[in-house]
Amino acid sequence: MTRIQNCINNLSTDKCVWFMRQAGRYLPEFRKIRSQNPNFVNLCLNEELSKEITLQPIRRFNLDAAIIFSDILLVPNALRQNVIFKKDLGPILEEIDIKKMESIDEVEFVKKLKPVYNAINLVKKSPELKNKDLIGFVGAPWTLLIYMLHGKSPKNIDYNFLLKDKKKIDFIINTLDKFLKIHIDNQIKNGATIIQIFDSWAGLLEEVDLNKYVYETTSKLVDFVKEKKIPVICFPKGIKDYKKYVRLVKPQAISIDYEVDPKFISENIDITVQGGLDPKLLMGDRDLMKKKAINYLNIFKDKSYIFNLGHGVLPETNPDTVEYLVKLVKEYK
């Protein structure tokens, strides 16, 4: 069993480490590939390059897991809602066509995402991944729903106006439930040893809406992953009540964001905790970053804890800082 799986199964309090968005934009070797491949969706669907990008941070740092280089929005793209990524704007999704989406079947969906599964298979077979986990992932139904309805990043929006057509919303949620399970299943079959569910926009919702859009929808995916006998980590970024989330969704590990009090989490949540460190700290004073990182390690000293950030590695991060942080975690006693 790997270090992370020992941690998730509460078999060890040894600290392990990986980073969200560790494969990508802050590494010069990635930026070289990206400059030659301006279409981000096509890059994600290039199995050889996806494999290479996934393994780049594994070669550089003593990390305990690789996470496949992909994107949560490949799912709506495979559901016939075209997605493009524009520089300085982020993802742009065309308007949903329900009739187009209604007629898609599993064969077409899997065919569109086959390069992702092939890349996972290639990474899994790589000798560089020996004794390390390979993390596959999906976006949570709520986060994908809000992207699909809004057509771009939903930051600072009033989501209520997007949810007026209840029949349409229910169709999209049911469609996502079906095809996210297919996507998860194919990632596992091809070598993913952990699944992480990213609910990047859970923090948008008011308490009254969380049950329908987060707790119910995500718990179905969590149950599905558990049936496959591999660990599942959930990251409901921005959610106010992590304790309630853990109780209702029942993941095996919970990834916390940087606005959460880690001491409260340590005292109130019994499952394995992941993350928390503000990624902006990696771009500032190194002594302050060290102090904050050690604070997390001390708080979770006697608990199962996966060191990670409270969001993804930022593009401006110096790789040397990442290396320093990994060594700090590995040498922690």
The structural domain count of the chain equals 1
Which range of residues forms the domain containing residue 89?
3-330
pLDDT tens, residue by residue, 43-65: 999 999 999 999 999 999 999 99
Token readout for 139 is: 């976006």
Give the length of the chain.
Answer: 333
| Average pLDDT score over residue span 298-325 | 97
CATH code: domain of residue 323: 3.20.20.210
- The residue type at 5: Q
What angle is formed at CA 275 by the lines to CA 270 and CA 280, rounded to 5 degrees? 150
Can you tell me the distance from the alpha carbon of 25 to that of 29, in angstroms, rounded to the nearest whole number?
9
State the pLDDT at residue 323.
98
According to DSSP, the residues that pair with 53 across neighbouring strands are none
> Residue 88: is its pLDDT beyond 90?
no
State the pLDDT at residue 2.
93
Closest by alpha carbon to 263, among 278, 281, 276? 276
Can you tell me the distance from the alpha carbon of 79 to that of 94, in angstroms, rounded to the nearest whole number?
12
pLDDT tens, residue by residue, 192-248: 999 999 999 999 999 999 999 999 999 999 999 999 999 999 999 999 999 999 999
Token readout for 21 is: 């968005």
| Average pLDDT score over residue span 238-260 | 97
Please give the mean pLDDT across all residues of the chain.
96
Can you tell me the distance from the alpha carbon of 81 to that of 96, in angstroms, rounded to the nearest whole number?
6
State the pLDDT at residue 41.
97
Helix/strand number for the chain, H first, E second: 15, 10
pLDDT tens, residue by residue, 121-173: 999 999 999 999 999 999 999 999 999 999 999 988 889 889 999 999 999 99
Token readout for 317 is: 């991060």
Structural element, H or E, at residue 194: strand 194-198
State the pLDDT at residue 227.
98
What 3-state class would DSSP assign to 217? helix
Can you tell me the distance from the alpha carbon of 152 to that of 83, in angstroms, rounded to the nearest whole number?
9
Q: Any idea what DSSP says for residue 95?
A: P
Q: Could you tell me the sign of the dihedral formed by the alpha carbons of 317, 319, 320, 323, in that order?
A: positive
| Average pLDDT score over residue span 74-96 | 94
State the pLDDT at residue 11.
81
CA distances from 119 to 48, 77, 110, 186, 248 (A): 7, 18, 14, 12, 33
Torsion, Cα of 266, 270, 271, 276 (10° steps): -10
pLDDT tens, residue by residue, 9-46: 988 888 899 999 999 999 999 999 999 999 999 999 99
State the pLDDT at residue 102.
94
State the pLDDT at residue 49.
98
State the pLDDT at residue 276.
98
State the pLDDT at residue 333.
85
